[in-house]
Amino acid sequence: MMPSQHADDTPAKVWFITGTSTGLGRALAEEVIADGHRLVATARDTSTLDDLVAQAPDRVRALPLDVTDPAAVRLAVDTAVKEFGGIDVLVNNAGYALRGALEEVSDTELRRQFDTNVFGALDVTRAVLPTLRAQRSGCIVQISSVGGVMATLGGTAYAGTKFALEGLSEGLAAEVAPFGIHVLIVEPGPFRTDFTGRSVRWADPIDDYRSALDPAKKQFQAMHGTQPGDPARAARAVITATQMEKPPLRLPLGANAVDRIRERLQQRLQEVDTVESLGRPTDFDS
């Protein structure tokens, strides 16, 4: 298939986005379509994507994808490359939050959280990388979170997945840079999506943790529908970042994210200063 033209007469890019049924993935898909790009939109239930396809049937392809199914991952990627001739921007957006104290989370729940948020994203990334290397170009967008910089009460498991994704993505960025491939780690704060509603799962509570976690749970639930972040503006920021000559490695989204991440990094520097006299002398004497 010959590449179509973008609104500014540059070739339209091919975007491959996971988890486009709702939330930031849906907002990003809509902005990509509005910009004139081509889109492979994926979801476990493709009927949720019918309206996206209807917006531009010649430029949008909906594919079924459960990112925890390796065979489905490879089929979706192969289909995208076959039909659109390549992939320029991969967005690993599929994921969900598991909330509760670490002791409350079952082994099955914890593994499912990592299978989706970490191993699913990595599987899709590895499936797309051969195409990006052959092209000697492309951008991999990893949707992380403020939770990838700091863990909050009740969000331990989720933060663990995002910390893992950030470390793996930072290492990946150095590996693929010689091929002209960029990695963009997106760190959203609270955005007005289903993330605090339909997309969250709760562990069975243990009474001892209630005094600490119940207020955090109520605060988390109370945010639903009132989050300050605008998904459409977040999508626009992500698209703009991918179009930069040198995209940043990390992109915090929303004032809440920028402020909290800056505060946490400053705290980390203060901690280093505090323990330097204890940690520095542990080298062999020269």
Task: Return the active site residues.
Answer: 144, 158, 162
In this structure, are strands 200-202 and 97-99 parallel, antiparallel, or unpaired?
A: parallel
- What does the angle CA 99 – CA 102 – CA 105 come to, to the nearest 5 degrees? 65
3-state secondary structure of 220: helix
3-state secondary structure of 281: helix
DSSP-assigned states of every residue in 5-16? BPTTSSBPPEEE
Q: Residue 67 corresponds to which tokens in the numbers above?
A: 């990112």
Q: For residue 53, what is the enclosing H or E element?
A: helix 50-55
- Torsions phi, psi for 204 (to 5 deg): -70, 125
Q: CA-to-CA distance for 159 and 106, rounded, in angstroms?
A: 16
Q: CA-to-CA distance for 234 and 240, rounded, in angstroms?
A: 10
3-state secondary structure of 244: coil
